[in-house]
Amino acid sequence: MNIFYGRISMRKLILFIFLTLALSISAKEVKIVFLETSDIHGRLFSYDYAVGEQKPNNGLTRIATLIKKQRAENKNVVLIDSGDLLQGNSAELFNNEPIHPLVRAENDLKFDIRVLGNHEFNFSKDFLEKNIKGFNGDVVNANIIKTADNKPFVKPYIIKKIDGVRVAVVGFLVPHVPTWEASTPEHFAGLKFLDAEEALKKTLSELKGKYDILIGTFHLGREDEKGGDGIPDLAKKFPQFDIIFAGHEHAVYNTKVGKVHTIEPGAYGAYLAKGVVVFDTKTKKKTITTENLPTKDIPEDEELAKKYEYVDKKSKEYANEVVGEVTKTFIDRPDFITGEEKITTMPTAALQETPVIELINKVQKYYAKADVSAAALFNFGANLKKGPFKRKDVAYIYKFANTLIGVRITGENLLKYMEWSYKFYNQLQPGDLTISFNENVRGYNFDMFSGVKYQVDVTKPAGQRIVNPTINGKPINPKATYKLAINNYRFGTLSTTLKLVTDANRYYDSYDELQDNGQIRDLIIKYITEEKGKKVTPELEHNWEIIHYDFKNPLLEKLAEKLKEGSVKIPTSKDGRTLNVKSIKASEVE
């Protein structure tokens, strides 16, 4: 009997050992590499057509070199684009092609996933849809819903099985397209955009138990422009994500929020975001690393560059077409403190009226037949220099494909709008030598006004800064109605965010009149060629000024010296996007 039971025990032991060995053999580590681009904004090549300059760290052609290297070194690679691919850098020249060359280039590079960014909605819905269909991979956005049947416009997520590992990728777009495209609702006709928490709760509920690795690809910044959830908020609310790849903010960061890795590769192809997940199929343990791979001085991929050489050629020819003559350089001192062309301190264009903003506002007022115009400088360093006036110069001073809107607004609401705009400045405090900028207000949300004469008191708190506003020599009447010229983006701000106008107040739309030729950039060229005899001459209205600040303080020259020697530095925002966010005290240079 003992021998019998001994044999059974031996058999059990052998079986146990066999099963253990079998399990250990079947268990393995699977390495998956995720690569992400975002906010390419038309940079197929590393050439910036608006300034006529080769950039050392731009372009899908440089990214392609890194992608091919990663693929050669790794078996399992998932390639993602997080949105804003098709707008900017002359990309609009190719909108009539059956499939946009940037989408075709991503097909050539075998991108697996695309997310729609807000700028994908700058153009017609037909354009949007043909480039969704033309993409060989999957377009994913969890928060874009068809109003007709409440079904997703594109796939909310995909699940890929890679070496037996289930990988779920969820897409998301900042939900403010209806605001930013308020003047062109046909661009998003039949669609609604859910906020992040609502969309992700529903999507992750559907995905429960269906994945081993969960990846987010979100066209969203760390802070939401309208006060909603940003990337860190979502990482805290949905800690089941392993990695969230981000876009929209044009920032470069790589950080953990709790256990969630969050990463963004900047814009224009400056970096390629890389996330590596090593998954143990037995223990389910995940080892995750993330990094941003720089493209600076990486050679362009010759195969891709050669195939799309026609894009580069056509873009350069268009950009260099001469449409007029600049009779005199517009801004002699772009940096107010240093006097240099490169802005490193306080840009002159952010402190006073300049001929550049005057030209934009004059064109807007003229074609909208408005009393007042408001416009922002998307680049405070934008300038026009004496010599030939080329198409690229227009793109340089006005980088977006905005259209012109004329809207009726009450005097009361016009003043509210002006106060909203001038919260761009921080309140000047006693002892401040420099005027600084509110890091929570982007430069594209700082509008300067024409047709109104006014002063700005930066010693007052935001909301109380506009002094002595008049139109045609008379104080603004709060109950009167005025015609205001703005771009379509700002119409969205005024109508949906600030609630200062409605669609019924709109009386002019350049797109309705001129279609694709109704962009403000086109109107600037039209104005110069048809109304100014192709002469571009700097002019000023002399209609606004900052008061209670000494622009001639001799300490400013001393500050320039200290900046040059490096003993004083101009503070910059944490994300690096806003310069001069804190005033330099006079005591720092005395």
Q: Return the residue matching tokens 């303080």.
A: 553
Residues 117 and 255 in one domain: yes
Q: For residue 15, tell me if it sits in a domain.
A: no
pLDDT classification of 4: cutoffs 50, 70, 90: very low
Residues 58 and 121 in one domain: yes
What mean pLDDT is predicted for residues 154-177? 97
Q: For residue 71, tell me if it sits in a domain.
A: yes
Q: What does pLDDT average to over the chain?
A: 94
Q: Which of 310, 332, 347 is the last residue of a domain?
A: 310
What mean pLDDT is predicted for residues 433-439? 97
> Whole-angstrom Cα distance, residue 576 to residue 559?
22
What's the confidence (pLDDT) of residue 322?
A: 97
> Whole-angstrom Cα distance, residue 545 to residue 455?
5
Q: Count up the domains in the chain and report the number.
A: 2
Q: For residue 434, tell me if it sits in a domain.
A: yes
Write out the two tokens for 417: 């709008």
Q: For residue 411, tell me if it sits in a domain.
A: yes
Buried b (16+ CB within 10 A) or exposed e, 34-58: bbbbbbbbbbbbbbbbbeeeebebb
Residues 198 and 334 in one domain: no
Residues 467 and 542 in one domain: yes
Residues 286 and 388 in one domain: no
Residue 118: strand, helix, or coil: helix
> Whole-angstrom Cα distance, residue 184 to residue 502?
13
The CATH number given to whatever domain includes residue 189 is 3.60.21.10
What's the confidence (pLDDT) of residue 14?
A: 53
Q: For residue 79, tell me if it sits in a domain.
A: yes
Q: For residue 6, tell me if it sits in a domain.
A: no
Tell me which residue of 587, 557, 568, 584 sits closest to 434, measured CA to CA: 584
Q: For residue 557, tell me if it sits in a domain.
A: no
Residues 267 and 364 in one domain: no
Write out the two tokens for 567: 């003993």
Strand runs labelled E in 414-505: 447-450, 453-457, 466-471, 474-475, 481-487
Question: In sequence order, which ranges of 482-519 are alpha helices (DSSP H)?
Answer: 488-492, 510-514
Q: In this structure, are residues 322 and 315 in contact, taking their beta carbons and an 8 Å threshold?
A: no
pLDDT classification of 22: cutoffs 50, 70, 90: very low
114: containing domain: 27-310
What's the confidence (pLDDT) of residue 517?
A: 85
What's the confidence (pLDDT) of residue 15?
A: 54
Residues 45 and 166 in one domain: yes
Q: For residue 349, tell me if it sits in a domain.
A: yes
Q: Does residue 26 surpass a pLDDT of 80?
A: no
Write out the two tokens for 537: 């001459």
152-164 tens-digit pLDDT:
999 999 999 999 9
Residue 135 vs residues 39, 67, 159, 418: alpha-carbon distances, Å: 17, 18, 18, 43
Residues 239 and 378 in one domain: no
479-533 tens-digit pLDDT:
999 999 999 999 999 999 999 999 999 999 998 888 878 999 999 999 999 999 9
207-250 tens-digit pLDDT:
999 999 999 999 999 988 777 889 999 999 999 999 999 999 99
Q: Which of 252, 283, 310 is the last residue of a domain?
A: 310
Residues 121 and 225 in one domain: yes
Q: Which of 278, 310, 342 is the last residue of a domain?
A: 310
Residues 253 and 338 in one domain: no
Residues 187 and 231 in one domain: yes
What mean pLDDT is predicted for residues 317-343? 96
- Torsion sign across C-alpha atoms 246, 251, 252, 257: negative
Residues 283 and 349 in one domain: no
Tell me which residue of 279, 381, 303 sits closest to 338, measured CA to CA: 381
529-570 tens-digit pLDDT:
999 999 999 999 999 999 999 999 999 999 999 999 999 999
64-110 tens-digit pLDDT:
999 999 999 999 999 999 999 999 999 999 999 999 999 999 999 99
The CATH number given to whatever domain includes residue 398 is 3.90.780.10
Q: Does residue 148 surpass a pLDDT of 50?
A: yes
Residue 6: strand, helix, or coil: helix
258-291 tens-digit pLDDT:
999 999 999 999 999 999 999 999 999 999 999 9
Tell me which residue of 196, 222, 237, 246 sits closest to 80, measured CA to CA: 246
